[in-house]
Amino acid sequence: MHELLAPLVYVLHLDITQLAQVRERYEDPFEDRFNTSCEDNSSINKEGRHGFSSRPTLNFSAENEEWIYKVHPDDLPLIEQDDFGFNLKTILLGSDSYGAEGELGALLSARFMEHDAYSMFNALMEGHNGDIALADYFLSANEGKSSMSPMLEASASLYQTLVAIDTPLYTHLVELGVEPQFFALRWFRILFGREFDLEMLLHLWDAVFAAPYPNIWKGNEAKEPANFPEASTRASFISLFAVSMILYLRSKLLAAPNATVCLQKLLNFPKHVDVRNLIENAKALQMLLKEISSGLRPSLGQHTRFYNRGRTKRHMTRPPSSPSLHLQMSSPISGIQHHSGSQEINNHRRSESYWEQKWIDSVLSDTDDPVSSSKLVNSSSGDKILQNSSVLSNSKENSRLNGFPAQNNTKLTPRRSLFSAFWKGAAQLLTFEEKKSDAATVSVENENCSDCQAADANGLFMVAVETSTSRDGVESLKKDTTDEGIVLLREGQTAGFGIVRASDPEVSEMWASDDGETSSSGDDADKQLHNLSVTSEQYKKTASHPLQEAVCTGICDDIGDSHEGSDHECKDKGDGCVLSEPNEANGSVDDNPGLIASNEKQSRAVLQTLGQSMVESIQVIENAISSLSMDGASAAYRETAENLSKALLNGKGHLTALSALAELRKISSVLLQM
């Protein structure tokens, strides 16, 4: 328990120490000038040094402030805000028996340190008014109120959150048998006390304690029993923070071939991570989930405790098949912007269709291109794409997938914007606009001297990168949900932004797994193909092979929704679905329409973002490859991926992959340096 208690004591101690220093230096405001008036009121104050002032309450606050500013106007800045944001004024007010808290007495006093520490600890453990109660996490099922122990419940809710946010990662973890409580138990029980060092921990706790109670409970507190851990936004924030920690490790986790490795990563979370970034991410995720839970998308979770309450729709789960949002947590996210006004959404819709159309035009024209034409777009795909591109495509597909009415038209937009916000480039990306995207595309093309298949959909700056796809070779993937992201996978052609293609057929075969068996369903396969696109990193879940998975991790925009259009892609592979191979990860950046800005800086930032994400994807792939080569034998076990293992064992394919990676590295470093 010292993990919980120690930070509390530490903070108290710091405050009190600082108070003492302040008092020493600024004796004046602490002087009791009016103590003659009401000596009786405060026996505490009689103790002398700790009694501050007994002046009439009415006058005090104003007067005190006045003093501060009057007497020490110049000195104030000398007392810098410390890490916890206190300044002199706060301290003075807090330490005064008749100050901010009036009759409650001094908020801050060395004499009460033990008491205060206990109270805080107790509040933390017991929770109150819907707050999270850490003590619950120590209960077993029998003691708890429901069939599952609160800890397991919280763990389950953690995974439910993860599903909503990053389905592929969730699937990966579940397939490996990584249960959330194995690591979350320690995280939750002591509120991450072992995962970070003190300074970072305090940042985190600030954020946790600052998380508001849900509005729903306000005014109902009298009626409702006290503890609803899941209902509290604080609890959900904690859950989200845990998710953002998991996402921070995303690439490593995806590259992990087994549960052992995953758990090793999770149980040994890098201690010196800047928690503030994680917190920012968690907050952004919160926004996202709010949207999800606000009714746009019915929740399907089974969090009974939560769900049964019926009064709260805060549920944040979605079916696994729903589109996921991918965040690149580890990248230096500089700014996060949220867009969710309806006006913006409208703009989105308009521009989406516009850019979609544009994109289609570009695709169609590509089809004429001798190099890529043959396979770029399969016969039917053109139609499908067109279809998809219709304004309604989103809603159609969504409704098909989820069985929900088309109302979710607008739903994705905010999500997407949030999503793109996550891209560190976020700020820049967002402003990086339609106009710019053209320019950016051009610059990218120049830069790489490759024939860049960049299409801008939705004002998106799209970069498609490709390598080998399948035997058939080429796929054009269309992304609709996000409309922005489009990836063109072209065989025989290096596409995109710095993409190196693994030209060796063997390599490409490597990625092809024999059949839908590995993939959970045909739909999934379709989906995966789609997924292989742009913007964010996506992990494909079809094949159980880690390499494949890892590869799929490349930067793709997940468009789980767009099964429709992908049919053609998988169709011609009689015996199998082809996994597109992200040997080359490439990124396309998704930007939100609606903001206008254009300057070189931005495009540079975008490129850097791309570079960064490429580096990360490359790392994933490398991890996977190295783990494979370490135990090449492991591939042999896989029943479903015979081809794959053969190819892997084939040194040539391996080398090709490695050299491709090396190329990618070069490209990404170039990007980063820009």
Partner 1 sequence: MATRKRTLLKVIILGDSGVGKTSLMNQFVNKKFSNQYKATIGADFLTKEVQVEDRLVTMQIWDTAGQERFQSLGVAFYRGADCCVLVYDVNLLKSFESLSNWRDEFLVQASPSDPENFPFMVLGNKVDIDGGNSRVVSEKRAKTWCASKGDIPYFETSAKDDLNVDVAFQCIAKNALKNETDEEIYLPDTIDFSSGSTHTSSSCSC
Which residues lie near partner 1 (CB under 8 A)? 3, 137-138, 140-142, 149, 151-152, 155, 175-177, 179, 181-183, 185-186, 189-190, 194, 257-260, 263-264, 267, 631, 633-634, 636-639
> What's the closest the beta carbon of residue 245 comes to partner 1, in angstroms?
15
Nearer to partner 1, 60 or 196 (CB): 196
Nearer to partner 1, 10 or 182 (CB): 182
> What's the closest the beta carbon of residue 205 comes to partner 1, in angstroms?
17
> What's the closest the beta carbon of residue 188 comes to partner 1, in angstroms?
9
Nearer to partner 1, 186 or 338 (CB): 186
**Block residue for tokens 């009626």:** 223
**Residue 13 corresponds to which tokens in the numbers above?**
């101690």
> What's the closest the beta carbon of residue 161 comes to partner 1, in angstroms?
18
3-state secondary structure of 65: helix
**Residue 577 corresponds to which tokens in the numbers above?**
């679905």
> What's the closest the beta carbon of residue 283 comes to partner 1, in angstroms?
26
> What's the closest the beta carbon of residue 380 comes to partner 1, in angstroms?
37
> What's the closest the beta carbon of residue 631 comes to partner 1, in angstroms?
6
Q: Considering Cα of 301, then 306, then 308, then 309, what sign does the dihedral take?
A: negative
Phi, psi dihedral angles at 181 (to 5 degrees): -70, -20
> What's the closest the beta carbon of residue 29 comes to partner 1, in angstroms?
44
**Residue 376 corresponds to which tokens in the numbers above?**
């770029």
> What's the closest the beta carbon of residue 127 comes to partner 1, in angstroms?
18
Nearest CA to 277 out of 338, 234, 336, 326 is that of: 336
> What's the closest the beta carbon of residue 187 comes to partner 1, in angstroms?
9
CA 126 from centroid of its chain's CA atoms = 30
Nearer to partner 1, 262 or 532 (CB): 262
- C-alpha to C-alpha distance for 478 and 356, rounded to whole angstroms: 10
3-state secondary structure of 578: coil
Contact 643, 514 (CB under 8 A): yes
Burial of 617 (0-12, 13-18, 19+ CB in 10 A): buried
Q: Which residues pair with 432 in a beta bridge?
A: 597
Q: Is 473 left (phi over 0), alpha (psi -120 to 50) or beta?
A: left
Nearest CA to 429 out of 590, 612, 596 is that of: 590
Nearer to partner 1, 152 or 647 (CB): 152
Q: Which residues pair with 589 in a beta bridge?
A: 461
3-state secondary structure of 142: coil
Q: Considering Cα of 603, then 604, then 605, then 608, what sign does the dihedral take?
A: positive
Nearer to partner 1, 152 or 255 (CB): 152
> What's the closest the beta carbon of residue 154 comes to partner 1, in angstroms?
10
Burial of 43 (0-12, 13-18, 19+ CB in 10 A): exposed
Nearer to partner 1, 188 or 511 (CB): 188
**Block residue for tokens 């053609």:** 568
3-state secondary structure of 555: strand
Nearer to partner 1, 444 or 647 (CB): 647
Give the chain's end-to-end CA distance (angstroms, integer).
49
Nearer to partner 1, 82 or 143 (CB): 143
> What's the closest the beta carbon of residue 261 comes to partner 1, in angstroms?
9
Nearer to partner 1, 76 or 649 (CB): 649
Nearer to partner 1, 28 or 143 (CB): 143
Nearer to partner 1, 149 or 410 (CB): 149
- Amino acid residing at 384: K
Nearer to partner 1, 84 or 637 (CB): 637
> What's the closest the beta carbon of residue 148 comes to partner 1, in angstroms?
8
- C-alpha to C-alpha distance for 485 and 222, rounded to whole angstroms: 50
- In sequence order, what are the residues at sequence separation of 6 or more whose Cβ sits closer than 8 angstroms to the Cβ of residue 13? 113
**Block residue for tokens 């710019």:** 436
Nearest CA to 158 out of 124, 181, 190 is that of: 181
Count, residues in the chain: 674
3-state secondary structure of 488: strand
